[in-house]
Structure 1
Amino acid sequence: MSKETISKDSFISLFSKAVKGGEQNYTSGSLRRAIFMLAVPMILEMSMESVFAVVDIFFVSRLGNYATATVGLTESVITIVYSIAIGLSMAATAIVSRRIGEKNPEEASKSAMQVIMITLVVTCVISIAGAVFAKEILLLMGAEAEVAAKGTAYTRIVFASSIVITYLFVINGIFRGAGDASIAMRSLWIAN
């Protein structure tokens, strides 16, 4: 067998293993392999997130200009919530992976629960503020009065449900930190 065939086979088998998942020990062995095994599920996960947004806009665009404008304006603001969720997720990944690397799963579990509790507090504040000030948020983003009036209900629903999306990010970060990045990817596939 040539070197090319071997590298293709190993690439395919590594890709398959990354997608199938399972608990991995990334503290020993090749750093390139570890990065690849963690990156594949994350890339697929973010691809699904993009598809989710495109599908939303596609179906909403059939409802008319006001609906499309509302979704666009709300998505612009909810991106800030996603940024907070990604930050919490990265914190969860870092803390849990450190404890796992120290061979201390009990502390990893405690750390994960602390991040989950912090996430609850942060998202409750964001959800309540977003739901209460939905119309004002749309107007602040430059919506016309009619768009703000018709889109307030949608914006309230999106902000009220932001807790679900934030927890999806955070729990996926916890699983990544524990060494099983494919669970995060599969959970997003199911959500879509």
Structure 2
Amino acid sequence: MKQKIQSEKLGNEPIPKLLKDLSIPAMIGMFVMALYNVVDTIFISYGVGIEGVAGVTIAFPIMMIMMAVSVAMGIGGASVISRRLGERREQEANHVFGNIISVIIIISLVGMIAAFTILDPMLRLFGATDAIIYHASAYMFPILLGTFFFSYAFATNNIVRSEGNAKFAMMTMIIPAVINIILDPIFIFWLNMGVQGAAIATVISQASVTIVILRYFLTGKSSLQVHVTDLKIKLKIVKEVIAVGLPAFAQQAAGSVMMVAINTMLVKFGGDFHVGVFGIIQRIIMFTVMPMMGVMQGMQPIVGYNYGAKNFARLHETVRLGLKVTVLISFFIFALVMLVPHWLMIIFTSDQVVIEEGAKFLRIMFSAVFLIGVQVIGSGLYQALGKSKQALILSLSRQFVFLIPLVLILPHYFGVYGVVLAFPISDFFAFLLAGALLYRDRETFFGSNNKDGNHPSVSATSNSS
């Protein structure tokens, strides 16, 4: 069966090869996705100006809420599906997938209604000023109308990866990115549509990949098969998916709240100019963190499958290797930003004032980035094993528990630089928390000295909350 070909390699192939095969496509796909966000910002910066970038930055928290729901369903569903596959419960895996599709349809209807009813009030609430609300509204209206395409693409990407098909998951990220990059200059410059042109290009690109993904599932290329009966929502399944995906939702939602807090404090202690500068830096952050996220996403199906199959030795090997790789990546990112921050800013703008201010922001914000690898892996591991409470704690810790309070407090003492100073401080505290949780559950993730890979504490640890 195709299911065995797709998923059994998670329990059989050598871990270094398997992690490479799953992580590199995830890295490439996320890299390209980040690239099209970068290209979006570049075109808007040169075609509209820093005000356009500021408008999109103000609107971004709404997009993050959309992504929060769909990513939560995708990551939660991926964790449940990979464990069902490991336990040889294939039909239940299909039913989980069908329920996820039904929830996505409901979410999409809510997004479309919001576009016609509460868009401008939301943007005002999120910090839009009179100078930039036009750009923010023009960008978000088409995005909300295309909620289904975004939600379906983000959720199913994780589902495809959960069955071990990392290459196709990579293609579902590359296809919309390439289409978006091609369409951006056409809509922004040739058709002179400004930020709304960028949004329309993004919706078309997501609609295109949605068709590709639908064809993948409908033509039997996936190991998952969905029938009409699988679409009937079962609260038990939805609750399980939400419980596992809640940390991912909380992380994205906290990111949205964080963006609102940051934009508000930047406007109060700086101005629209600083919102635009941060909008550029936000794209750089997305671009640099993607490799670590790729490793984490590559690890999750391996960890989830082998945990379900009770193959703990492979789980331990995966965790050790993944943690080493992410730490190395985080140190490389730290060196890059400290050495050449101006080069990173020049990619987006030729305005020397923006470049100088952005370089200062970058060095401060990335001064503790070498600690992020432990946070990323820790949160991803707990998600993969369905340990929702620990994953929720780690997902919320950096942004909601540490970063947002610091963003609201520090500017009163350090002005606009207090906003960016909050980032390395929160990274440090989040690192301590992630390290403490991983140390507490070290036998589950890293194993004991038993050579057979078994340990008596797995069951007790995995049930702890």
Q: Considering the TM-score relative to the shorter chain, is it more than 0.5? A: yes
- CA shift, 1:190, in A, is 0.9
Larger Rg computed on CA atoms: 2
Q: Does 1:111 align with 2:91?
A: no
Hey, what's the Cα distance between the residues in 1 that align with 2:24 and 2:146? 28
AA matched with 1:87: A
Q: How does 1:25-40 map to 2 (within 5 A)?
A: 25-40=9-24
Q: CA RMSD in A?
A: 2.2
**How do residues 134-153 of structure 1 correspond to structure 2 at under 5 angstroms?**
134-153=119-138
Q: What's the CA shift string for 1:63-116, capped at 9, x where partnerless? A: 234432221111233123222222111112112212222233332222111111
Identity in percent = 23
Tell me whether 1:97 sits opposite 2:88 in the alignment: no
For the residues of structure 1 that align with 2:135 and 2:157, how far apart are their CA atoms?
Answer: 34
Matched length: 171
Quote how far apart the aligned CAs of 1:174 are. 1.4
Query: Which runs of 5 or more structure 2 residues have no equivalent in the other structure?
Result: 178-465
Is this contact kept in 2: 1:172–1:181, CA < 8 A?
no
Q: Distance in 2 between matches of 1:150 and 1:79?
A: 18
Q: What's 2:160 paired with?
A: 175
Say whether residues 1:184 and 2:169 are aligned partners. yes
Q: Secondary structure at the match of 2:12?
A: coil
Counterpart residue identity of residue 105, structure 1: E
Aligned to 2:345: none
- Asked whether 1:63 is paired with 2:63, we answer no
**Structure 2 match to 1:157:** 142
Q: Distance in 2 between matches of 1:170 and 1:177?
A: 11
CA pair 150-56 structure 1, distance change in 2 beyond 3 A: closer
Higher RCO structure, 1 or 2 (CA under 8 Å, sep 6+): 1
2:268 paired residue number: none
Provide Cα deviations, 1:161-189, integer angstroms capped at 9, x if missing partner: 23212211111111111121211111111
Contact 1:131 1:160 in 2 (8 A): no
**Length-normalised TM-score, structure 1:** 0.78
**1: distance between equivalents of 2:115 and 2:82?**
33
* Structure 2 contact 58–136 (Cα < 8 Å) conserved: no
Matching residue of 1:9: none
| One-letter amino acid of the counterpart of residue 76, structure 2 | A
Distance 1:166 1:113 in 2: 14
Normalised to the residue count of structure 2, the TM-score between the two structures is 0.34
Q: Is the 8 A contact 2:59 2:137 kept in 1?
A: no
Aligned to 1:14: none
Q: 18, 23, 35: which one pairs with 2:6?
A: 23
- Per-residue deviation, 1:140: 1.4
Deviation >6 Å, runs of 4+: none
State the partner residue of 1:42: 26
2:112–2:147 CA contact under 8 A, matched in 1: yes
- In structure 1, the partner of 2:364 is none
User: Which residue type is aligned with residue 38 of structure 1?
Assistant: L
Given that 1:96 and 1:177 are in contact with CA atoms closer than 8 Å, whether structure 2 keeps it comes out as yes
